[in-house]
Structures are given as structure tokens and as C-alpha cells.
Structure 1
């Protein structure tokens, strides 16, 4: 079933499975929101919709005949895309990825540290410093960003140590090559 809300650019659908034993249709239980402006690409259902001023994509992978939400990408057409990866047990991981029209071609944004000693923070505020720091040339993956009331820009980063330990923290934009 498909319908467009009046004045909306989203044409949303509900997806049903045919149950041949009961000779009836049943709604997929693991799809909690409407599928809008959808396309089918290989084993994916891509739901594209606008909410406010941003375009979003929910990317479902068909596994054993059932659609499973794998990725939500927000702010399509922006300089970067905010990606939420849906993991088992309702866990999620956040990343900033490149703005490619094909969801399979979007890659995590990364940059390098440019200062000699870049302090890491628990939160995007200079009074939230940790004892950890990075040095010139350390490569980080960008997972989030914010601008504070004092107009300072911050990135939340993921850093892999030489021993494969993952550090996630905030860093001032001034310490990163991407901000130069």
C-alpha cells in the first residue's frame, strides 16, 4: 500500500509478506516505520525520505527473506553524511561518512592530528580534558561534530592505538587537518 501525505514529497508504503498457509498478508514485524520513496537495489530496500530540511535513507538488507535495518544515513546532499549503523541487540555505532549518492560507496571521514600534543576531552568543552592526547600525524576517524555556544568546533573521534585499543573522545577542531 502506498500513500502520499498532502503537501509531502514522501510517498510512504507498508510492506507485507504473503502467508500462503493462511492465504493472507502479514506486515513485517521488524519494520517499525514507513518505507518511503523506496527503491530495490540488489538485496537492499532503500527508504529515502525528507524530514525537516534534511534527506535521510534507511537501508534494509534482506536476510533470510526478512528486511533488517542495517544503516540510517542522515543529511544526504550535505558536505558529509551522519551514519548510524544498527548492530545486534539494539546497539548502534555512529560515523561521519562521505557524501556519495551510492550508500555502498560512502566511506568514513578521517583526518590527521596537526598539533604536537592534542588533548582529548570527555565532552566538547575545554574544561572536560582527559589525560589522553594524540600527536602530529595520528590518524582519526570522525564520528560526530558539534559547535559550542562559544563558537568553537569539536569532533568526536575514534582512534586505534598501536595495540588495537579503541579510544573515543572529543577533540578541538583546531588540532585537526580537516579544519585547516
Structure 2
């Protein structure tokens, strides 16, 4: 039986593991404190608990507060990853992440990340709390993911001159678990690309990822000028049509809309409600 520290990572990355087991790694986890390790050769750091505080004993003899012990929900399984240790920012130094909280029945594990500063001989706290982290050394990517309701949301960080920036943000969309709407950014925070991608591994999405193509499964799917029911046009697609998904919008009422492109007698770019892709209808097949 898997402990809860692995559940989110397994769910998030199972498809990628089946394709390429070496594509990402999970940081080494420790279930209990104290933990000793070397951020650089010949230097030792000891992370321990003092009352409710997490303390790092540094090589220079000083101590550094790494926050408080997490509030773990009663009844949770033993957490293998109370502390994670790895090179989270790919600078060749050893960093640590301390469990900050547990959510969604143990699927979401949130961490405070502390990056080792070799010059200062101390830790520098990462700007954001991270969740269920994995590392891809080939692209120097720190991936985080968390579940809310039936969906996964991910943020990938990359590093420029050892400084982090958000490389991508993605959200599971639709209801079948294989579509993600992702935004890719450069190091200055400018959006480079938005894409609806067919994948079960959102961290695989990059600038070359093609837009997903989805089959219409209802007899007649109305097209809309805007992502709302009040902008219905006279145009529609029919069962079996395969439009390309260009953009995504979720409204306050929970309805999901996709901007599609379809090349029929002429190229059309309109909005379609998600139900056109997920529910079979018994109505007779229409025409364009």
C-alpha cells in the first residue's frame, strides 16, 4: 500500500512513467527528523525538530528556522516525505523542502522549499509553496501539481541564472482526464503560447505541442460567437466532425467552452460547449 506522500505524484505522473521512466525523478523523502545531509561536499547540515519548530543546524555553527512542523490531519497514513532532499534548482547544491500541510485526503502535499546558498552558507526560502514536486533534469524543470475536485492543476518552474520563473501553468479540462489547457511563459513573464493539449502529462507540454483535435459526438453541435449560450449562431457541426481546439474558457456556472477551428466548405472559428464532445445523442444526424 502506497503512503500518501506518493499518491499525488503517482497519479500525476503515471502516464509519463509508462512512456519514459527516466523522464522525471522524485526527491528523496524522509519520514522522520532529524535528517543530516551534505549540501556541498564535506559540509553537513542537520535538520531537526525543536518543540514545534523545524531547525537547521548549519556548518558555521549557527541555526536557521525552517518554519513549523505541519498540521497533519488525524488518521492520515505515515508520510514518507516529511522532508524532501534534492537539487531543486539544478545548481549542483543540495536543497530541502519541509512539509507545510496536507490536503485533499492526503493527495496534496504542500512544501516550503529552501535552496542552499553556497556563498552565504544558509538557506534561501523559495518564493512559493510547492506541491507534490518532481524534477526533470534534462529541461531543468521543477514541476508541481495539486488536485482540486476532479481536476489537476500544475505549475512548472524553470531557472534562468539560478533564478526561478513560471514556465507553464496548466489545468485539466473537460471530463475525460486527457485534456489540459496550458499557458507557457518566458522568463520575463510574457505569455508565449496558449494551447489545449491532449496529454496525461502536462509537464510534457512545450512550444512544439500541437493543439488537440476532438471528435464531435452529438448529432448537432451549435456554434457560438462567444463562450456563452446567448451568442448562438445558425452554424453547427455534426457528429464525426473533428475540430481543432484553440482556446478554453470556464464560466462561473461551471460550463466549459472551447474555441474551435474547423475546415469544412470554409474555415470556421467559433466556440463550442464541452457537452458536444462528451455525450452521445440519439437525435438524427443533421447537415452543415
Show structure 1 runs of 5+ residues with no match.
162-166
Residue equivalent to 2:228: 124
- Within the candidate set 84, 94, 97, 2:182 is matched to 84
Show structure 2 runs of 5+ residues with no match.
1-96, 281-288
Aligned residues of 1:156 and 1:168 also touching (Cα < 8 A): no
- Within the candidate set 155, 174, 195, 1:95 is matched to 195
Q: Counterpart of 1:5 in 2: which secondary structure?
A: strand
Residue equivalent to 2:101: 5
- Within the candidate set 24, 29, 36, 2:131 is matched to 36
Displacement, 1:38? 0.9
Distance 1:146 1:24, change over 3 A: closer
Q: Counterpart of 2:200 in 1: which secondary structure?
A: coil
Residue equivalent to 2:166: 69
Displacement, 1:177? 7.9
Distance 1:66 1:143, change over 3 A: same
Give the number of the structure whose alpha-carbon radius of gyration is greater. Answer: 2
Rounded Cα–Cα distance in structure 1 between residues aligned with 2:156 and 2:113: 14
Q: Counterpart of 2:204 in 1: which secondary structure?
A: helix
Query: Which protein is richer in strand relative to its size?
Result: 1
Rounded Cα–Cα distance in structure 1 between residues aligned with 2:212 and 2:166: 22
Rounded Cα–Cα distance in structure 2 between residues aligned with 1:6 and 1:113: 39
Q: What is the TM-score normalised by the length of structure 1?
A: 0.60
CA RMSD of aligned residues (A): 4.5
Aligned residues of 1:95 and 1:108 also touching (Cα < 8 A): yes
Q: Deviations over 1:92-135 (max 9, x none)?
A: 564332232463267531247899xx75412322x42579x799
Displacement, 1:71? 1.8
- Within the candidate set 152, 170, 176, 2:271 is matched to 170
Residue equivalent to 1:47: 144
Displacement, 1:60? 1.5
Residue equivalent to 2:258: 156
Rounded Cα–Cα distance in structure 1 between residues aligned with 2:269 and 2:185: 18
Q: How many residues align?
A: 167
